[in-house]
Structure 1
Amino acid sequence: MALQPDAAPWQSWSLERVALTLGQRFPGCHIWIIRASLMYLHKFSCYQNFVESNLFGAPEHSPDYGAVRHLRALLGHSMQRAGLPNPLPLLSGTSTPGPLPAGFSLTIVGFSKGCVVLNQIVYELAGARADPELRLFLDSVSDMYWLDGGHPGGSETWVTDKCALGELASSGVAIHAHVTPYEVCDPMRAWVGREHRHFIKTLEDLGACLSQKLHFEDEPASIENHFRVIQEF
């Protein structure tokens, strides 16, 4: 970031510093920061390893892309590389998977463009639950946090498909949506706010375990407050 003029002013929000912030937010937990697989022009995050995307990171969601499987494999391999005791076992592809480590629980947090990964997971829930290993992994997810999601596409910033949201609501996962005016009150991208409201309303109607908050609502929309939601959620 220090070498890139567009990124240098935002070094206080580097991956390393965000890891420290999340470590304070979730004390006693292992924190894994997953970097985008591609940084186009050094500034456009693209999570192609989780969801089909263009170079600028706008996603094309599909119910069978493989984000859940990729996250499961990535965490298992990372835990082994880090030498943690009782890591996630590698995927075996069997119909009778072995148990996960005792007490294993996962909280998934997406910020800004990274929320496309959470959205893709939501689209995959129905299919992933049909796989015994992935179902066991999904059952370990306790919370999912959407932090001021946004991307350069013209739609699907938030999941609005009722069937997909029905799977999320019935999963029992605690859903948290934290936003700022930077994303949901931008008149040039009015669809973001509409989709966010639709996401919240649909999940409420479905009886999901949901919490939501609009941060900095009395302050002008700014990219600084967009980043600050990482500290405030």
Structure 2
Amino acid sequence: MERWSSVLKIPLIATSSNYYRVAASLCLSEVPSANAIFFHGDRVRDTGNPVIERLYDLQKVAEVIVSKFGNSVNAWVVEASVFNGPFAVYKDFVPLVNRYGEPTASYSPIGFPASSSIVSLLSSFLQEAESRVLKEGKDVYWRSSLADSPRTILLGFSKGGVVMNQILSEMSSLETNSADEHEEIGMVPASKESFLKSISEVHYIDVGLNSSGAYITDQNVVQRISQRLTGGGSSVSVFVHGTPRQWRDEQRGWIVKEKDELVRLLKSEGENSGGKLQVHERFYFADRVPDLQMHFEIIDVMDVSSA
């Protein structure tokens, strides 16, 4: 299958002075089965470790995502637009964060900032990409109306996990019949409502913070998602991937406690959803001493199957 790949600097809105570096590997010759959107973590530089250097490279990660989910997916890798030193700050997606990009309050769905920002970012990227592809003399149908909307797979690595938490909060506040039935179906969702309804998988990938809030632990959030799915929404699977780097960090013991609580809530509410809300917990490199390499290497080895 023919693909088009690039890394572009994209403003969230036309008047914004902040640009996001976004890598994408997009299907050119057929309708994608899904959009897999990966949010990267804090910045690393000059580690001298080829594994870490490769898996911080946005385009390389996009290639890994395609290899994981299949050649029929569009892969998107988003880097934060603001860094405080090495610390990624996803303030457009999670407004209530400190200067290190860590949440200062519970994840609030008010204004739907994460879903609105993702829709805007993907739409702006497609507009720029389409112009470039046409200049290359290739045909694109990215703006064509589709019979079915591609599903959405979300992945948050390390600091990118805060975006996953925000998305779950917004999913919990989505009205069951909120999508515009007259909305044209395109390669990427045109509204926050259709975006949130298209989500089929959420992956936490070795997330962790230097403060609480690495995993959302609000029972009401998980309960409302379960109730919405039971009321007619499509199934959602939440994957929690981790390594000793985060889950055995004795200095930050809250990380594993929050992870355990989220998994417990998802299992409990999953039983009430008739199987529509599922959770998969996976631990990697259990026999290795924690180090930075395993933190990145999990991107390569993570198992994304539902089995």
Aligned position for 2:141: 85
Read off the aligned partner of 2:60 and give its amino acid letter: R
Compared CA separation, residues 216 and 166, structure 1 to 2 (3 A): same
Q: In structure 1, the residue corresponding to 2:216 is in which secondary structure?
A: coil
Matches within 5 A, 1:14-163: 14-28=57-71, 29-41=73-85, 43-52=86-95, 53-60=97-104, 61-65=107-111, 66-83=113-130, 85-87=141-143, 102-129=148-175, 131-132=178-179, 133-153=191-211, 155-163=212-220
Q: In structure 2, the residue corresponding to 1:209 is in which secondary structure?
A: strand
Aligned position for 2:240: 177
Q: In structure 2, the residue corresponding to 1:81 is in which secondary structure?
A: helix
Deviation for aligned residue 1:103: 4.0
Structure 2: which 5+ residue stretches go unaligned?
Answer: 1-42, 131-139, 180-190, 230-234, 271-276, 303-307
Distance 2:146 2:46 in 1: 41
What do residues 87-123 of structure 1 show as CA deviations (whole Å, max 9, x unaligned)? 49xxxxxxxxxx8763412111110000100101111
Structure 1: which 5+ residue stretches go unaligned?
Answer: 89-98
Read off the aligned partner of 2:241 and give its amino acid letter: H
Deviation for aligned residue 1:24: 1.5
Compared CA separation, residues 215 and 78, structure 1 to 2 (3 A): same
RMSD value, Cα: 2.2
What do residues 20-79 of structure 1 show as CA deviations (whole Å, max 9, x unaligned)? 2212212221111111121111x1111111002222111232221511111122222222
Matched, 1:211 2:253: no
Compared CA separation, residues 126 and 102, structure 1 to 2 (3 A): same
**Runs of 4+, deviation exceeding 4 Å:** none
Matched, 1:224 2:275: no
Distance 1:78 1:102 in 2: 21
Match of residue 12, structure 1, among 24, 45, 54: 54
Distance 1:79 1:108 in 2: 18
Compared CA separation, residues 183 and 87, structure 1 to 2 (3 A): farther
Q: Which structure dedicates a bigger proportion of its chain to strand?
A: 2
Distance 2:44 2:126 in 1: 33
Read off the aligned partner of 1:227 and give its amino acid letter: F
Name which of structure 1's ranges 173-182 and 130-139 shifts more when overlaid on structure 2: 130-139
Alpha carbons 2:152, 2:199 under 8 Å: kept: yes
Distance 1:107 1:6 in 2: 25
Q: In structure 2, the residue corresponding to 1:45 is in which secondary structure?
A: strand
Alpha carbons 1:105, 1:140 under 8 Å: kept: yes
Normalised by the length of structure 1, the TM-score is 0.85
Distance 1:174 1:232 in 2: 19
Q: Which structure dedicates a bigger proportion of its chain to helix?
A: 1
Q: In structure 2, the residue corresponding to 1:32 is in which secondary structure?
A: strand
Read off the aligned partner of 1:145 and give its amino acid letter: H
Higher relative contact order (CA 8 A, sep 6+): 2
Distance 2:203 2:250 in 1: 25
Alpha carbons 1:158, 1:195 under 8 Å: kept: yes
Distance 1:129 1:135 in 2: 9
Name which of structure 1's ranges 20-29 and 207-216 shifts more when overlaid on structure 2: 20-29
Read off the aligned partner of 2:259 and give its amino acid letter: H
